[in-house]
């Protein structure tokens, strides 16, 4: 009887081991086959802006690298919260990605309550680009320099307006930093993306805009907007004759926008690794780089760990400024 039970346990153990091996083989095969269908990049901004341009450009190259169609799904609103929430709640299988930006790092401090956890509900895939903002005004604006804006703003505190694609965006943060370092008070007017913000700036409804190079570049080139300064530490290769904010008279002013890709938490490490490799190759193509150079952006990729470290540092930086009321909720 003891022998019979032992044989029974042995048979059961063998069956369990066989089932586990089968499951592991199945999982491994599934990861090896990734991707076997369409991949979607959620862009939490409206079509036509700098973020949209970056997403659509990298989508073209990712499709070549991965052998599957990669599409862009614009979900603007809520200072990127709407699109980010949709991405966070998507299946963690690698087929839904989020184009993350500087808003991803400031929203935890800026928003009263987020429907997701920035640090727990996402995993990093890779950083894509760094992008300085460009301070622009309409071509017929009376403001010919940054000093003109400062003088006008100080003469009428709280009257001049600056547009942004939403709370927590690089445009918003650039404007808030300008207020702080310039000792100014401006009206912040938010929109659901760069396109509507630019429409109102061009239409005379707002006075200034700190736009991404990708969104304001075509209007600068066409002569509809005038660039007064860039927010990076050094001048932009796209606008070498445009001074930095420091050169224009605002000591200590440096900030840049950035973009990368995140996936829902729980996405298998093997899938993240495959996506990261594809992103790094895509970002190194002549097609991708040529788009960036024309828009004054700089490609910057790396490992998922590199991107996670960068985002955590940005969260700490902007959280401090929110707590000291430099950026208001």
**What are the pLDDT digits (tens) for 164-179?**
988 888 899 999 999 9
Strand partners, 135: 210, 229
pLDDT > 70? residue 195: yes
- Confidence category of residue 325, pLDDT binned at 50, 70, 90: low
Residues of the chain with CATH 3.40.190.10: 132-230
Does the structural domain 132-230 have CATH classification 3.30.1360.120? no
User: Which whole-number Å values give the CA distances from 295 to 65, 78, 139, 286, 301, in the listed order?
Assistant: 24, 26, 19, 14, 17
Give the pLDDT confidence score for residue 289 in this predicted structure: 87
Whether the CB-CB separation of 259 and 128 falls below 8 Å is answered with: yes
Give the pLDDT confidence score for residue 329 in this predicted structure: 57
Mean pLDDT calculated for residue range 15-32: 50
Mean pLDDT calculated for residue range 100-126: 93
Residues of the chain with CATH 3.40.190.150: 33-130+258-323
Top pLDDT among 282 and 318 is at 282
Dihedral sign of CA atoms 189, 191, 195, 200 in order: negative
3-state secondary structure of 252: coil
Express each pLDDT in 28-56 by its tens digit: 445 568 999 999 999 998 898 778 989 99
Give the pLDDT confidence score for residue 23 in this predicted structure: 47
Percent of the chain with pLDDT over 70: 88
Least confident range from 91-95, 178-182, 315-319: namely 315-319
Measured at the CA of 191, the angle between CA 189 and CA 195, to 5 degrees, comes to 120
Give the pLDDT confidence score for residue 24 in this predicted structure: 47
Q: Of 297, 327, 51, 310, nearest to 172 (Cα)?
A: 327
pLDDT > 80? residue 223: yes
Angle at which helices 50-66 and 269-282 cross, to 10°: 110
CATH number for region 33-130+258-323: 3.40.190.150
Q: What is the pTM of this model?
A: 0.76
Q: How far apart are CA 2 and CA 17, in angstroms?
A: 22
Q: How far apart are CA 133 and CA 230, in angstroms?
A: 6
Mean pLDDT calculated for residue range 96-102: 96
Whether the CB-CB separation of 294 and 217 falls below 8 Å is answered with: yes
Whether the CB-CB separation of 98 and 263 falls below 8 Å is answered with: yes
Give the pLDDT confidence score for residue 6 in this predicted structure: 45
The secondary element (H helix, E strand) that includes residue 179 is helix 170-182
Mean pLDDT of the chain: 88
Q: Of 237, 260, 236, 251, nearest to 135 (Cα)?
A: 236
pLDDT > 60? residue 27: no
The secondary element (H helix, E strand) that includes residue 209 is strand 208-212
Q: How far apart are CA 119 and CA 111, in angstroms?
A: 14
Percent of the chain with pLDDT over 90: 66
DSSP labels for 1-69? -HHHHHHHHHHHHHHHHHHHHHHHHHHHHHHHH---S-EEEEESS-TTSHHHHHHHHHHHHHHHHHSS-
User: Which whole-number Å values give the CA distances from 73 to 24, 30, 189, 281, in the listed order?
Assistant: 33, 25, 25, 22
Give the pLDDT confidence score for residue 328 in this predicted structure: 65
């Amino acid at each position: 009887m003891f022998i019979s039970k032992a044989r029974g346990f042995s048979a059961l153990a063998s069956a369990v081991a066989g089932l586990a091996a089968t499951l592991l083989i199945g999982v491994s095969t599934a990861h090896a086959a990734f991707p076997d269908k369409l991949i979607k990049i959620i862009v939490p901004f409206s079509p036509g802006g700098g973020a949209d341009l970056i997403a659509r450009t990298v989508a073209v190259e990712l499709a070549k690298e991965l052998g599957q169609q990669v599409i862009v799904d614009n979900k603007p609103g809520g200072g990127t919260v709407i699109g980010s929430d949709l991405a966070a709640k998507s299946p963690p299988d690698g087929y839904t990605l989020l184009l993350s930006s500087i808003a991803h790092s400031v929203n935890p401090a800026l928003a009263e309550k987020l429907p997701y956890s920035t640090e727990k509900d996402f995993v990093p895939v890779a950083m894509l680009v760094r992008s300085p903002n460009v301070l622009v005004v309409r071509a017929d604006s009376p403001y010919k320099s940054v000093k003109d804006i400062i003088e006008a703003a100080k003469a009428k505190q709280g009257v001049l307006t600056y547009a942004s694609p939403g709370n927590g965006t690089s445009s918003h943060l650039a404007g808030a930093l300008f207020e702080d370092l310039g000792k100014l008070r401006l009206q912040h007017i938010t929109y659901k993306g760069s396109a509507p913000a630019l429409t109102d700036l061009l239409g005379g409804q707002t006075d200034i805009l700190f736009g991404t190079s990708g969104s304001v570049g075509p209007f600068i080139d066409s002569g509809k907007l005038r660039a007064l300064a860039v927010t990076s530490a050094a001048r932009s290769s796209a606008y070498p004759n445009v001074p930095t904010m420091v050169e224009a008279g605002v000591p200590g002013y440096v900030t840049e926008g950035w973009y990368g890709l995140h996936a829902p938490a729980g996405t298998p490490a093997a899938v993240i690794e495959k996506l990261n490799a594809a992103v790094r190759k895509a970002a190194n193509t002549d097609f991708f780089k040529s788009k960036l150079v024309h828009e004054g952006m700089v490609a910057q990729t790396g490992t998922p760990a590199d991107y996670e470290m960068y985002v955590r540092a940005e969260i700490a930086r902007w959280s401090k400024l929110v707590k000291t009321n430099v950026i208001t909720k």
